[in-house]
Amino acid sequence: MDTETAELRLLEAAETLFDERGVQAVGMDAIRTASGVSLKRLYQLFPSKDHLVWAVLKRRDGAVREAIAAHGATRADTPYTRALAVFDYLGDWFADPGFRGCAFINTFGEMGGISPDVADIARGHKQALRQYFAEQTDALGAPRELADQLAILANGAMVLAGIEGSAEPAVRAKDAARVLLDAAAPR
Amino acid sequence: MDTETAELRLLEAAETLFDERGVQAVGMDAIRTASGVSLKRLYQLFPSKDHLVWAVLKRRDGAVREAIAAHGATRADTPYTRALAVFDYLGDWFADPGFRGCAFINTFGEMGGISPDVADIARGHKQALRQYFAEQTDALGAPRELADQLAILANGAMVLAGIEGSAEPAVRAKDAARVLLDAAAPR
DNA sequence: GCGAATGGAGAACGATCGTTCCCCCGCTGC
DNA sequence: GCAGCGGGGGAACGATCGTTCTCCATTCGC
């Protein structure tokens, strides 16, 4: 196995395990077993568990940003529909078996108080989502506060979908987002 | 120190530490030091750390439900204003120094995947908030979906306030809630 | 005043975890 | 074919954690 695939398998295995059980409840040995990569190589690629956690979150951060942009670009062609398309993306995501909430929200809750790195990544990730909404609301000539409100809806939906184990919050949030969009920037 | 105050000090110390650092990062010895209650008494009152975690969450659950009801009862006198008063409560809470998000959201993220008890308490707590909103929206003759949307706003505000370290999401969410309330049940 | 019970301080124990080390296999260059 | 070496399996190490135990002082009923 070459370095590239070893790193990929480690990141994928760690991400899955962290999502299922949280970060601290997952031992390095479990990651080694799930990935099939030896401890020696693991520590060559990621010199500590903190480095691995950081890399997992960073990779997920980029993937989510891309997925949201792609979702908006391919399925929606106006700022209005692009803003709403985020909630369709959430609905698909929530329907994943084993979905247990947003990794950034969960990891911040677990480690945000003791790990500034984790807190920074979570903050950056959430600001990127807000920024995406802001691009759409700016294009609509709506006030910036609307973007904040859409971000609040999206994050609230993630939390409740995770805790209740249901995809329904995505459609509820989308309906609410439509009402807010119409009120702030009527088509 | 009698049993009652020992239990109270333990619950308060544990709650503070869990809020600051998460559950798994806090050792029983830290709780003993912070509370001034010996380990022997601690294990007499709570036979395991899981029992203590459960008791802390249960106590907080009751306190929050009471606080929301009290906030609505004393500062608002219609279903419309009682629904909005929740967001004022959130604003006060977010402004607490050291606020780091909702204990139920954080603990669910940390342990919801490995502890059914924690998952159950978080679910119950969030359903209680939704229920409170539902009582107000029912009285307004608004559809049940509105209560879900208000709950999504409240939880999204908690998450973003915790991650960003700002109380602003409370006022953004309140503005959004007003728009949704007006759209669904005009006064 | 005395024996028994209670509770405090903290050592001790067993388990687990992150990390490192050791030993050996299999490949590579010549 | 062989010396050298990178990598795998897994034991080992040191730290930490949840939990229990030991020792001792204090208190309370009589």
- The residue type of B123 is R
Domain residue limits, chain A:
1-47, 53-184
How far, in Å, CA of B180 to CA of A78, rounded?
A: 23
Q: Which nucleotide is nearest to B47 (CA to C1')?
A: D19
How far, in Å, CA of A4 to CA of A99, rounded?
A: 27
pLDDT of residue A77: 87
Query: Which of B 26-85 lie inside 8 A of A, CB atoms?
Result: none
From first to last of the 187 residues of chain A, give the pLDDT tens digit: 788 889 999 999 999 999 999 999 999 999 999 999 999 999 999 999 999 999 999 999 999 999 999 988 888 789 999 999 999 999 999 999 999 999 999 999 999 999 999 999 999 999 999 999 999 999 999 999 999 999 999 999 999 999 999 999 999 999 999 999 999 876 5
User: Which CATH code is given to the segment(s) A1-47?
Assistant: 1.10.10
B163 vs A119: CB contact, 8 Å cut-off? yes
Fold category of A53-184 in CATH: Tetracycline Repressor; domain 2 (1.10.357)
- Report the footprint of strand D: residues with C-beta closer than 7 angstroms: A 1, 6, 37-41, 44; B 24-29, 39-40, 43, 47-50
Residue A172 has phi, psi (to 5 degrees) of -60, -45
- Report the footprint of strand C: residues with C-beta closer than 7 angstroms: A 24-29, 39-40, 43, 47-50; B 1, 3, 6, 36-41, 44
Q: What percent of chain B has pLDDT over 70?
A: 99
- CA of A46 vs C1' of C27, distance in Å? 25
Interface contact B101, partner A, CB < 8 A: yes
Interface contact A13, partner B, CB < 8 A: no
* A1-47 matches A53-184 in fold: no
Question: pLDDT tens-digit profile of B32-83?
Answer: 999 999 999 999 999 999 999 999 999 999 999 999 999 888 887 899 999 9
- The residue type of B99 is F
Residue B95 has phi, psi (to 5 degrees) of -75, -10
Chain B residue with the nearest C-alpha to that of A145: B172
Residue B142 has phi, psi (to 5 degrees) of -90, 160
Higher-confidence residue of B186 and B103: namely B103
Measured between beta carbons, the chain B residues lying within 8 angstroms of A154 are 156
